[in-house]
Chain A
Amino acid sequence: MGKYVVRRILQMIPVLLGSTFLIYVMVFALGDPTIGRCGERPCPAAYIAKFKADYNLDKPVIVQYVLYMGQVLKGNLGTNFFGNAVSEELAVRWPTTAKLAVIAITFEIVIGIIAGVLAGIRKGKFVDTLVTVSTLFVISIPVFVIGSVLQLLLGIRLGMFPVTATQGTLNQLILPGFVLGSLSVAYVARLTRTNLVENLRADYVRTAKAKGLTRARTVSVHTLRNSLIPVITFIGADFGALLGGAIVTERIFNVNGVGGFLFRSIQQKDGVSVVGTVVCLVLVYLVMNLIVDLLYGVLDPRISHD
């Protein structure tokens, strides 16, 4: 187990270097970030020269990258084009995004798994049809539509929820969290249902039933645990994605999170912020993947890492 973890962590290094290099090249080697910085007219030459010197843009890309990564290894994500430290910008936004992600995941787990289990054990009945149809409905609507409609109905018209979440308090984040989680709720419900239905037909379940276990125990202990493995994989990856920023949701509700920051940085060609954010996101993904893989062993002892 310990060996496995170490091996996985060592694997992260080339992935991290490779992905950041690709991002760095894409951001800085293609396109000139100094163009369009001075409104509808070209920037003064001296301005451009100072700007390029400040960000090492006058050096070859590979040198730029090495200089940049040297900074990153020291824990310094650099200063963005607005003169703010990227690590500070991210430090302000991570908690909000994390809160939002946790709310979304909570909706996913609670509503998704309950709906999936109900549909699974009553396969073909009314509840099953209801869950299948309603999840299809949710999956087929783009998130910006769900977000805007709920914002208009529950926020502006009925006044039940705050319209935007600029300050990022828990109260403000419930509605965006729900919107963010809604799509995944549908996937979780469907995954749970399908796996449960399949496993309920398995031999060991028949054996358990034959031995006289109650239906509740067969479902909850013997079947659900196995059935949750793909669900956990999905939720784990999803949590990584949510932390990476729900760009659309964060924009609709003006949540000051990582997603909105990344979007704005891309839009404004703030390369330092883009690369810094992506470095962090790659790390988050890698760690989440590791956690999910370790969880497999806990859920199903047949899966072993030794």
Chain B
Amino acid sequence: MRGKTRAMAAAAFASLALVATACGGGGTAPQTGQSAGSTGGEITIRGCTPKVALIPGNTSETCGGNVIDAMTSKLVHYDPETAAPTNDIAESIETSDNQSFTVKLKKGYKFQDGTEVKAKNFVDAWNYTAYGPNGQAGSYFYAPFEGFGDVQCLDPDCKGKPKVKEMTGLKVVDDYTFTIKTTEPVSNLPVRLGYSAFSPLPDSFFKDPKAFEDKPIGAGPYKLDSKSTTEMVLSKFADYSGAFKPSVDKVTFRIYADTNAAYADVVANNLDFTDQIPPDQLVGEAYKSDLPDRNAVKESGRLTWITFSPNDPQLKDNVALRKAISRAIDRKLIADKIFNGTVVPATGWVSPVVDGYKEGACGDSCTFDAAAAKKAFDAAGGYKGTLTMTYNADGAGNKEYSEAVCNSIKNALGIKCVAQATVDFATFQKKIDDNTMKGIFRSGWQMDYPSIENFLTPIYAKGADSNWSKYNSPTFAKLLTQAAAAKTPDEANSLYQQAEAQLGKDFPTAPLWYPSTVVGWSDNVTDVKVTAFGTLDLVSIKKK
């Protein structure tokens, strides 16, 4: 009670003071900064420790990625609702053959060190990221560019330096124009250019990359004020001239080691946003009573599936068997019981959030039917021995759903199925790389850029990094090439859909579900929007 009285007295005094200044107005000098009415206020959101220094081309994880996204502007900006790309720094990106692109920049975009964003800032940054010896994690994004091979290391240990430092596919035309040339047609290249690995870098970066690591600079709506082991503080960049102006003045990414602690702080209104709800709060939707009207479930560009190991002789050449196993999985039941409805059963190999998505590519094989599955299973010759489903135990929920999938297969087909854990993702990945994975194993993908192509090429193109099923189909490859060369987006989408349909025939993997992002926020903020990437849209959020 005492605290309350004192607060009321303070409030009364403050309002008196306000009245007094209002009455005395006119004579006083204008206040510096913004007036109380239009100030955007400060918010705190859950952050985590970046795995590497905050360099756009080297960051491939969300802890650093979220901060970089707030700090940088790219050629293209993705709509928070639909993920559709619109031009940001780019005035226009033009091509006639999907292979030579001319990029024109808007004038007046400034980096946070005061210099203007020019064509060479893009070309230099991209060459730096692609150059092998710089060891940037995002270098593979430049693989389609002409001359990419020449800037790569000659041997796996990177002992020999590449002959050249720059890709031939990038040319500065004038201050605000540059050209991109790719080795093969890439119809969706403009869509890709919104990814943070394609950010421009200021000249100061190349003079002293080490200093840049301590104080990263971008051309985005926020600039980094400070970073420490407990928080990363961003404030509005006064000279930001782009179209995506945020409302909030100051954003603090507070670092949490544990999602439970962040969740507890959101419930107590000490933290304004978390993009991770602890699994035990999802059970029975407990979070909805803790956070009434302050939670949301948003479909995000992700997909979970099982890969049929290319090293399993029984599965390798038996499409009918793979389809039968897929049909024996009760996706809807698992989505309801294990995930409490935070995942949507998949009907194909592409997430519904991207342009070009078409429902039902998987057909009957993704619809649970125990009797039909058993019949098809027997007709296909069955599976001898125990089927193992391998998962990495360090991923939240992997154990539960892997066991559920196995149970479903066991019950429907009457075979032995065991969910088998590896200690962590590293061990898991190593088993895939060493070709020692047996049976089936879980796989997941989070899109890099919102395009149907991003769900197909990196995972199913011959020899692609993430082609864990070792899928190799000439028809599929031909369709990808044709789609990449397509003249219009519609034509490209239709060809990509045909490629996806080919996956439905060959069935290298069985799609499971599209995971959503569940978020919660405090009473202090409104207009919370979650992007298709599952991150907070800092442009929309407002302080109450």
- Which A residues contact B (CB, under 8 angstroms)? 31-33, 35-47, 49-51, 53, 58, 81-84, 89, 92-93, 148, 151-152, 155-156, 159, 162-164, 166-168, 250-254, 256, 260, 263-264, 267-269
Assess the B430–A35 pair: CB atoms within 8 A: yes
Complex interface: stretch among B99-107, B175-183, B254-262: B254-262
Residue from B136, B158, B257, B265 in contact with A251 in the complex, judged by beta carbons closer than 8 Å: B257
Nearest 4 CB-CB pairings of A with B? A50-B135, A49-B158, A254-B261, A46-B132
Residue from A82, A155, A254 in contact with B258 in the complex, judged by beta carbons closer than 8 Å: A254
What is the count of residue pairs linking A and B with beta-carbon distances less than 8 angstroms?
136
Assess the B465–A42 pair: CB atoms within 8 A: yes
- Which B residues contact A (CB, under 8 angstroms)? 49-53, 60-61, 132-137, 139-140, 152-153, 156-158, 213, 228-231, 254-258, 260-262, 264-265, 267-268, 270, 394, 424-427, 429-430, 433, 443-446, 458, 465-466
> Which A residues touch B136, using CB under 8 A?
44, 47
Assess the B427–A31 pair: CB atoms within 8 A: yes
CB B64 to nearest CB in A, in angstroms, measures 9
Assess the B270–A44 pair: CB atoms within 8 A: no
Complex formed: what's the CA distance from A26 to B254 in Å?
32
Complex formed: what's the CA distance from A35 to B51 in Å?
13
Residue from B158, B261, B426, B445 in contact with A253 in the complex, judged by beta carbons closer than 8 Å: B261
> Which B residues touch A162, using CB under 8 A?
270
Closest residue on chain A to residue B159 by CB atoms: A49
Assess the B133–A38 pair: CB atoms within 8 A: no
Complex formed: what's the CA distance from A45 to B149 in Å?
13
Complex formed: what's the CA distance from A36 to B260 in Å?
24
> Which A residues touch B135, using CB under 8 A?
44, 46-47, 49-51
Assess the A42–B51 pair: CB atoms within 8 A: no
> Which B residues touch A263, using CB under 8 A?
257
Assess the B157–A166 pair: CB atoms within 8 A: no
> Which B residues touch A53, using CB under 8 A?
158
Assess the A167–B230 pair: CB atoms within 8 A: yes
> Which A residues touch B53, using CB under 8 A?
82-83
Closest residue on chain B to residue A148 by CB atoms: B260
Closest residue on chain A to residue B58 by CB atoms: A47
> Which B residues touch A81, using CB under 8 A?
51-52
Closest residue on chain A to residue B394 by CB atoms: A267
> Which A residues touch B444, using CB under 8 A?
40
Assess the A49–B157 pair: CB atoms within 8 A: yes
Assess the B49–A264 pair: CB atoms within 8 A: yes
Assess the A39–B61 pair: CB atoms within 8 A: yes
Assess the B52–A38 pair: CB atoms within 8 A: no
| Residue among A41, A151, A155, A167 facing the most chain B CB atoms (10 A cut-off) | A41
CB A46 to nearest CB in B, in angstroms, measures 4
> Which A residues touch B52, using CB under 8 A?
81-83
Complex formed: what's the CA distance from A256 to B261 in Å?
12
> Which B residues touch A156, using CB under 8 A?
264, 267-268
Q: Assuming the A-B contacts A156-B264, A252-B258, are A46 and B429 also in contact, with contact meaning beta carbons closer than 8 angstroms in the complex?
A: no
CB B300 to nearest CB in A, in angstroms, measures 14
Complex formed: what's the CA distance from A296 to B49 in Å?
44
CB B485 to nearest CB in A, in angstroms, measures 25
Complex formed: what's the CA distance from A39 to B58 in Å?
12
CB A246 to nearest CB in B, in angstroms, measures 13
Q: Assuming the A-B contacts A49-B157, A82-B52, are A251 and B261 also in contact, with contact meaning beta carbons closer than 8 angstroms in the complex?
A: yes
Closest residue on chain B to residue A58 by CB atoms: B157
Complex formed: what's the CA distance from A168 to B465 in Å?
43
> Which B residues touch A42, using CB under 8 A?
429, 433, 465-466
Closest residue on chain A to residue B54 by CB atoms: A83
> Which B residues touch A47, using CB under 8 A?
135-137, 139
Assess the A46–B425 pair: CB atoms within 8 A: no
CB B263 to nearest CB in A, in angstroms, measures 10
Assess the B261–A252 pair: CB atoms within 8 A: yes
Closest residue on chain B to residue A263 by CB atoms: B257
> Which A residues touch B270, using CB under 8 A?
162-164
Assess the A40–B261 pair: CB atoms within 8 A: no
> Which A residues touch B430, using CB under 8 A?
32, 35
Assess the B264–A36 pair: CB atoms within 8 A: no
> Which A residues touch B61, using CB under 8 A?
39
Assess the B445–A40 pair: CB atoms within 8 A: yes
Closest residue on chain B to residue A144 by CB atoms: B260
Complex formed: what's the CA distance from A42 to B406 in Å?
27
Assess the B158–A164 pair: CB atoms within 8 A: no
CB A134 to nearest CB in B, in angstroms, measures 26
Assess the A37–B229 pair: CB atoms within 8 A: no
Assess the B446–A163 pair: CB atoms within 8 A: no
> Which A residues touch B256, using CB under 8 A?
164, 166, 254
- 27 A-B contact pairs sorted by A residue (CB < 8 Å): A33-B426, A35-B425, A35-B426, A36-B425, A39-B61, A41-B465, A44-B132, A44-B135, A46-B133, A46-B153, A46-B158, A50-B133, A53-B158, A58-B157, A92-B228, A155-B264, A159-B268, A163-B270, A164-B256, A250-B257, A251-B260, A254-B257, A256-B230, A256-B255, A263-B257, A264-B49, A269-B426
